[in-house]
Amino acid sequence: MPVELARAKINLALHVLGRRPDGYHVLDSLVAFATIADTVTFTPGGHVSLTVDGPTASAAGAGPDNLILKAEKALAQRVPGLSTGHFHLAKRLPVAAGIGGGSADAAAALRLLATASGLSMDDPRLVAAALETGADVPACLLSSALLMRGAGEAITPVQGFSPLQAVLVNPGVALSTAPVFAALGLEKGTETGLSPMPASLDLNACRNDLAAPARALLPVIADVEAALAKAGAPLVRMSGSGATVFGLFATAREASTAADKLRTEHPQWWVAATELS
């Protein structure tokens, strides 16, 4: 059975530059993808269906709101005779965590459908279905280091990206995206006046403009940031709209040691050492 990894999406930087008249926020983001992932399996034939298992299956659900089913519907509307069948999602990533788990699942399903139906990965119908499914899905469709601009529709691969060793930590509390953006208080058709990412993509000169409003809504994020810094991460930053925070380390060994320490000290947190690329 065809299988695709749905890799966690990490916003290494996320600059919010404004809000468009249609309500979408204008983003300038550097994105990489983790080795830790959900797994999506596709069995062609029959009606569209979905089953879900794994540690975070109950939070993801297998109902019509699951982005896998929304992605399949969006593509089927554009591709007559699309090969359909049964999806199985092994859900390991935390839900509503700022790491694009649902979007990555949807993108994995789209890649499986494209392969089964003989579509190229740059087929405009595939890209359109991804964007209709969710703002992060086009980036997750590529699933490698990229720049994401606009409302998520402008994707540029980053050539020569050097893999990074990281520890991801989620405090085990879901944080919806909409309230975090709403807390920015941006009116439609306005700009923030904040700087975009530097052309050098120097992470030390970047930021996540959603971190402050996310911390205000969920103060435990600050505790996670402090714990990662204490564990030795020279750079600590929240991913996406939270509440997952990442810390970067010089080596995989250092990341693994820090992850073990954090699991011992905070057994209620979700902790994963991973590589970002």
Q: Exposure string (b/e) for 151-186, b if CB count within 10 Å is 16 or more?
A: bbeebeeeeebeebbbbbbbbeeebebeebbebeeb
**202 in catalytic set:** no
Structure tokens at 124: 């405009």
- Of 9, 28, 38, 209, the catalytic one is 9
Give the pairing of strands 25-44 and 146-150.
antiparallel
**Active-site entry in 28, 105, 136, 209:** 136
9 is catalytic: yes
Return the CA Rg of the chain. Answer: 18
Q: What own/partner pairs with CB < 8 Å and gap ≥ 24 does 111-114 have?
A: 111/4, 111/141, 112/2, 112/4, 112/40, 112/42, 112/87, 113/42, 113/71, 113/72, 113/75, 113/82, 113/83, 113/84
DSSP-H helix ranges across the chain: 57-60, 67-76, 101-117, 124-133, 137-142, 177-184, 211-217, 220-230, 252-265
Is the CB of residue 100 less than 8 Å from the CB of residue 140? yes
Active site residues: 9, 136
